[in-house]
Amino acid sequence: MRRAAILGLGKLGGEELGYGSDWDIVLAYEPPRGDAEAADTFGAVHTLAERLLALGSMMAQEGAGIEIDLRLRPWGRKGALIYSLDGFVRYHRTSGEMWERHAALKGRFVAGNEFVGRRFERVLRAVSYGRGLSPEDDLAVREMKRRIESERLKPEHRHTDMKLGYGGLTDIEWLAQRLQLKHGRTNCALRRTNTQAALSALASHGLLDGAEADSLLETYALLSRVRNAIWLRTGASADVLPEAGADRRAIALRLDYSDTLFGRAETQLEDDLREHMAGTRRIFEARFRE
């Protein structure tokens, strides 16, 4: 497709895919000048989007554990499957919301026409970094994070959910992304789609303490490895360790924990997770509200 490009968002955009990650994508195209040819291009790209969704459903039925997700496009489920680059610009000038500016931080060209894809990347960079983080914007970011914890995180999993829990992946990601939104307008080096690269850049420019960044990077890597190991053992995505038993022990052994004088492999894994997540939460609470 000469005039169309696919951008990845979320884990796909950040090159952070795990075995159970959704593939968040948006499609953009650049219409030719002629009205008839533009209509033909729109129809062809729309067909491509429908085929991608059908392929995602087929892969899920085959047990691939992958969902191709276009819900981050303008207007979400209510919007068209595809937009022109000019359409994206108009949308974000008139109707874009703070959560979409936040999501655009992860935008990365992944397939299709490179010229269109790179232009699309620049549009999303302008959406995210075109202005600093005003007090109103900052309040909106904090409120979004608060709602995730109050509406999506189960109370009984506050300290064990490796994605949404206290000290989980979202704490690390939202801390890095808030600092990117706050300082990325004037510092291009912070404009990284990958969370680990963003943390390293923030530390290099004095916006995170080096020890804090190292701790966050270590926790991020551990949680990602554990979630992948759960998928490999159970064939399903999960953000909490399985109940004590054969699965939990097998996951610990896969991650190179072993029985020692300090406890069984699964106990050491639990302790390691608890310690890392508690440390990450302390950093998050100190830094996210600065």
Q: Which residues pair with 5 in a beta bridge?
A: 28, 112
Place of tokens 């936040």: 102
Residue 73 and residue 81 in contact, taking contact as beta carbons nearer than 8 Å: yes
Q: Give Cα separations from 279 to 211, 212, 216 (angstroms).
A: 11, 9, 9
Q: Which residues pair with 8 in a beta bridge?
A: 25, 108
**CATH number, domain 4-129:** 3.30.460.10
| 77 CB-contact burial (10 Å; exposed 0-12 / middle 13-18 / buried 19+) | exposed
Q: What is the mean pLDDT of the chain?
A: 92
Mean pLDDT: which of 6-15, 71-80, 230-239 is highest? Answer: 6-15
Structure tokens at 131: 């202005």
pLDDT of residue 228: 96
Domain 135-287: CATH superfamily is Nucleotidyltransferases  domain 2 (1.20.120.330)
Reported as a single tens digit per residue, the pLDDT across 232-268 is 999 888 999 999 899 999 999 999 999 988 789 999 9
Give the Cα separation of 138 and 177 in Å (integer).
11
In the chain, pLDDT over 90 holds for what percent of residues? 72
Reported as a single tens digit per residue, the pLDDT across 204-243 is 999 999 999 999 999 999 999 999 999 999 988 899 999 9
Question: pTM (2 decimals)?
Answer: 0.93
Element holding 129 (H helix, E strand): helix 114-129
| 187 CB-contact burial (10 Å; exposed 0-12 / middle 13-18 / buried 19+) | middle
Structure tokens at 282: 């302390």
All structural domains of the chain with their residue ranges: 4-129, 135-287
For the segment 82-92, the average pLDDT, to the nearest whole number, is: 90
